[in-house]
């Protein structure tokens, strides 16, 4: 998409920017585009450049910078649908749902049909289902939009729609018959408990844990403070954007006094987590189904790049093309006795506590059973083997990037949807 935008105008960017994008060098392309924008006087061309810059920033998981670029592009050319779509998606990921819905409606009016469903999804996530229904009644022109409308209304007026749409088929018949990628995409449906949106926000998660009566969950959560804060002492702190993802914007400070006074987001006490001389973390999967809440016994062990504290797989892919990962079976062998005695019980207790925070019956599902929800939980493991919950991801990446990653994620998705043996699932009694 980015290259095609650039090629829309031969003057839109230098050849080097196009080549850098084709090589997936997003940081380099962003730098070239910023240079080109600074000297570009043609507003139409500059709008294309800014849209491409926004897409590069999205690839770098920097939604705040991407949002600025898309907004600037629309200032140059309000008719540029790609910029309106990019702006709406950034706002949605940042949790600014009303603004996102409005921006996505603009994108839809400019001919981007996918934005119709995305705008309605933002309304639903913001608990304005009436607005979503009214919008879809007016604009629904494809199967996905009509299926979402049917679910929100609680009735399927076109039975043949179930043959064409996985959402309609599952909602009204309970059939899970769909390719795995469709079941993966379903994890981002707007029809799950809204509590997951709140827990995906690191500040809201901290507030929820602080107010919880679950002692085990609180014990597994590092000391954390919303920024700006005067409660940071001389120890090391990790600062995170409240809705950041992909490891973007995460900074380590040796002392609380080093944290900038204007910093925003969450400051979290740094948990040293070293194995084989590198920082490492666990990605566990919590699964909420109609028949109970489960924790997957299999998950991913992630190692940071040399000298980094960030174990995020997306950052590893950006830097090296592939993550450095193992699985929980490897970790259990690597930590004999410790894994079963200390690490896994803390993971299990924290997962149970998170599930308790998210208990909700706020959506009336029209069919036999509501869709399963797969949630990612990230943990650091200290020198004693104790697991510390770092964050909750409501829509974890479920498409594998490498062999270990793929094997774990495929098994988790299949187990969540009941399409394979559920032997990997451990039930959590709430």
* Second-level CATH architecture of 199-208+273-428: 2-Layer Sandwich (3.30)
* pLDDT digit string, tens, across residues 246-255: 778 889 999 9
How buried is 16 (Cβ within 10 angstroms: 0-12 exposed, 13-18 middle, 19+ buried)?
middle
Does the pLDDT of residue 229 top 90, yes or no? yes
- pTM, 2 dp: 0.91
Of 201, 200, 221, 196, residue with least CA distance to 210: 221
Q: Is the pLDDT of residue 359 over 90?
A: no
Coil/strand/helix, residue 220:
coil
Average pLDDT, stretch 93-100? 96
pLDDT digits (tens, 9 = 90+) for 243-291: 988 778 889 999 999 999 999 999 999 999 998 888 899 999 999 998 8
Sign for the CA dihedral angle at 107, 113, 114, 116 comes to positive
pLDDT for position 306: 67
CATH number of 2-150: 1.25.40.10
Query: For the chain, how are helix, strand and coil distributed in percent, rounded to 5?
Result: 50, 15, 35
Helix axis angle, 43-59 to 81-93, nearest 10°: 30
6 pLDDT tier (thresholds 50, 70, 90): low
Contact 174, 166 (CB under 8 A): no
Q: What are phi and psi of 285, to 5 degrees?
A: -125, 120
- Work out the average pLDDT over 162-173: 95
- Give the pLDDT score at 88: 98
Q: In whole angstroms, how far apart are CA 254 and each of 235, 242, 257?
A: 6, 20, 9
Q: Does the pLDDT value for residue 9 go beyond 60? A: no
**For the chain, domain boundaries:** 2-150, 199-208+273-428, 223-270
Listed in sequence order, the DSSP H helices in 156-285 are 161-164, 166-173, 180-186, 195-200, 202-210, 215-219
* Segment 325-348, tens digit of pLDDT: 999 999 999 999 999 999 999 999
For 256, other C-beta atoms within 10 Å of its C-beta total 18
Q: What mean pLDDT comes out for the span 157-186?
A: 94
DSSP strand pairing (373-381 vs 274-275): unpaired
Residue 169's contacts (CB-CB under 8 Å, 6 or more residues apart) are 162, 163, 175, 177, 178
* pLDDT(376) > 90: yes
Task: Tell me what the pLDDT averaged over the chain comes to.
Answer: 90
Determine the distance from the C-alpha atom of residue 315 to the mean position of all C-alpha atoms in its chain, rounded to a whole number. 14
Mean pLDDT calculated for residue range 147-165: 95
What average pLDDT does the segment 123-150 reach? 95
């Amino acid at each position: 998409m980015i290259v095609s935008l650039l090629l829309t105008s031969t003057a839109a960017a230098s050849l080097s920017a196009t080549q850098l994008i084709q090589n997936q060098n997003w940081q380099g392309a962003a730098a070239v585009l910023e240079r080109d924008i600074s000297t570009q006087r043609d507003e139409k061309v500059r709008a294309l450049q800014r849209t491409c810059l926004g897409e590069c920033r999205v690839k770098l998981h920097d939604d705040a910078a991407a949002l600025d670029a898309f907004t600037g592009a629309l200032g140059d050319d309000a008719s540029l649908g790609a910029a309106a779509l990019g702006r709406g998606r950034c706002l949605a990921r940042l949790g600014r749902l009303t603004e996102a819905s409005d921006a996505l409606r603009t994108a839809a009016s400019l001919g981007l049909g996918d934005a119709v469903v995305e705008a309605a999804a933002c309304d639903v996530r913001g608990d304005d289902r009436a607005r979503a229904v009214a919008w879809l009644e007016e604009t629904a022109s494809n199967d996905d939009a009509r299926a979402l409308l049917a679910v929100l209304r609680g009735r399927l007026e076109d039975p043949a729609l179930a043959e064409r749409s996985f959402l309609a088929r599952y909602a009204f018949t309970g059939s899970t018959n769909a390719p795995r990628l469709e079941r993966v995409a379903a994890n981002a449906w707007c029809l799950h408990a809204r509590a997951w949106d709140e827990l995906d926000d690191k500040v809201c998660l901290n507030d929820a844990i602080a107010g919880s009566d679950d002692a085990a969950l609180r014990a597994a959560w590092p000391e954390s403070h919303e920024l700006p804060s005067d409660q940071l002492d001389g120890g090391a702190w990790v600062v995170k954007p409240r809705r950041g993802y992909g490891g973007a914007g995460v900074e380590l400070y040796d002392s609380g006094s080093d944290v900038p006074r204007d910093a925003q987001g969450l400051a979290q006490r740094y948990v040293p987590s070293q194995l084989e001389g590198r920082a490492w973390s666990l990605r566990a999967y919590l699964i909420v189904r109609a028949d109970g809440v489960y924790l997957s016994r299999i998950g991913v062990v992630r190692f940071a790049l040399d000298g980094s504290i960030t174990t995020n797989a997306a950052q590893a892919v950006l830097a090296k093309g592939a993550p450095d990962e193992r699985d929980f079976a490897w970790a259990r062998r690597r930590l004999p006795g410790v894994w079963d005695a200390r690490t896994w019980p803390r993971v299990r207790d924290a997962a149970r506590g998170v599930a308790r925070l998210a208990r909700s019956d706020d959506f009336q599902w029209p069919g036999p059973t509501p869709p399963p929800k797969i949630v990612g939980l990230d943990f650091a493991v200290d020198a004693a083997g104790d697991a510390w919950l770092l964050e909750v991801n409501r829509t974890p990446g479920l498409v594998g990037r490498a062999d270990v990653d793929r094997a774990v994620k495929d098994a988790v998705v299949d187990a969540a949807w009941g399409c394979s043996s559920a032997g990997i699932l451990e039930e959590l009694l709430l």
